[in-house]
Amino acid sequence: MSAKSKGLSSVGKKLINGLTGLGLVFFVIVHLGGNLTLFSSNPDLFNSYAKKLHDLGFLLYAAEIGLLAVFIFHIVSAISVYMSKRKARAYGYHMKGNAGGASRKSISSVSMIYTGIILMAFIIWHVISLKFGPGIDQGYTTVLKGETARDLHKLVYEYFANPFNVSVYVIVMVLLGFHLRHGFWSAFQSLGANHPKYTPVINTTGYILAIVLAAGFLLIPIWIFINTGGGV
């Protein structure tokens, strides 16, 4: 009986992890879409995009609180699933002395927890540096359609003129690709979409998404570094 209830709660945790993971994939796609304006030689394009978001006021705060909640649910459920798997594995080894087919899966989950922890640390650093970085009061000012706005473009360009920042971003974006590849597939497994017809489609979509998103994010710092002459 207790095994049954444990099983059910583990399915629930996986479901939360999968659904929040897919929500985060959606955020990452939208975020990359906005950031692609950084490739333009016109700084107003990126600054106007950022200003439009900031002008949403209360709606933006609500979206940010929602996003933070999704991140927290994703992280807590991921750690919880990971810990239950570790416990189950230790118990299985003890009882049977053999993990059987489970070992392949557990290697994937171990790599997911590590790439996940690195991504979490990255996002905290990223948000502190850019979102909560210097703004209008520190001289990062521009004028858009007669209105004063934060020159976020200047901040991002200065940030990626630094080879250390560019190197960290390139490495983390590759890890993001790995995390998304396995995570996308895993989310659909948790949602029960395990079917000979759909699984290959989900797998391929996961690969394409992971490559496109990692490459898109990775090219931005490299592009800016080259365009700023590569000096700090």
For ligand HEM, which is the closer residue by CB, 31 or 86? 31
How many other β-carbons are positioned within 10 Å of the β-carbon of residue 16?
A: 18
Does residue 124 interact with ligand HEM by CB under 6 A? no
Nearest to 51 by CA among 37, 40, 62, 65: 37
Does residue 64 interact with ligand HEM by CB under 6 A? yes
Is there a contact between 125 and 172 (Cβ–Cβ < 8 Å)?
Answer: no
Site for ligand HEM in 92-121 (CB under 6 A): 119
Q: In the bound complex, what is the minimum distance in angstroms from residue 108's beta carbon to ligand HEM?
A: 19
Nearest to 16 by CA among 55, 64, 69: 69
For ligand HEM, which is the closer residue by CB, 90 or 127? 127
Does residue 18 interact with ligand HEM by CB under 6 A? no
Does residue 127 interact with ligand HEM by CB under 6 A? yes
Is there a contact between 161 and 231 (Cβ–Cβ < 8 Å)?
Answer: yes
Going by the DSSP 8-state scheme, the letter that residue 36 receives in this structure is: G
Going by the DSSP 8-state scheme, the letter that residue 97 receives in this structure is: S
User: Interface with ligand HEM by CB under 6 A: which residues?
Assistant: 28, 31, 35, 50, 53, 64, 119, 123, 126-127, 130-131, 152, 156, 169, 176, 217, 220-221
